[in-house]
Structure 1
Amino acid sequence: MLTEEFRRILRTAGYSLDGWRHAWREEKSLRQWAGVNLAGWLALALLCPPLWAVGLVVLAGLLLLVLELVNSAIEAAVDYTSTARHPLAKAAKDAGSAAVAVMGLGYVALWILTLFSVWG
């Protein structure tokens, strides 16, 4: 029983890794947000802000990556369903993009607050 569960977990991890690889290869915006995260983590190491700020910035950055992956999934599902232009397909893609944009703005706002906590 434990062996079966372990195999299931390994398969699930493999699917997740496949999804990450595909999105990394196909989605420039995922690579860009990953770069923003890396730069942010380096800045956190140099600035040494309070631990709460570090946690929030890291969490917000990871949420950006999550939303970008979800947006990529929405786009792939819509494109697979039909190549025809349809208002609902556009609405789905635009809503996914808006989710990433809102989180991106939140990430910037959080960085501004973090900088105030360090220098203010």
Structure 2
Amino acid sequence: MRVMVLVKATADSERGFVADALSQAMMAAMGRFNEDLERAGILLAGDGLKPTSAGVRVAFDGPARRETMGPFGPPGDQVAGYWLWQVKAMDEAVAWVRRCPNPMPGPSEIEIRPLYEAADLA
């Protein structure tokens, strides 16, 4: 099964990346974790996202479109990064997330969501 693993944004991530000793240590730890995911054959894709201040939302209402420039809030409702994993079951994804280094300097949250597969839509 494929799952999308969403790193939820925080006030820190919404301020943008700051190259300091703490962020460099966090990036190194995350790099080692990503290497473990690759060696296990689980990692399909993944990356960090710039703050929502760099984003645009497009709202749809019938044929009408409306653009809204970021930032968007609150931070905990936003996404700061993601992985796409191939796992045997949700339990495996949860076990991997439990091994993940904290992606933020303070409290943070990661959400795991299964993707629809062709069999789900039949």
Fold shared, TM-score > 0.5 on shorter chain: no
Higher relative contact order at CA 8 Å, sep ≥6: structure 1 or structure 2? 2
* Structure having the larger proportion of residues in strand: 2
* Structure having the larger proportion of residues in helix: 1
TM-score by length of 2: 0.29
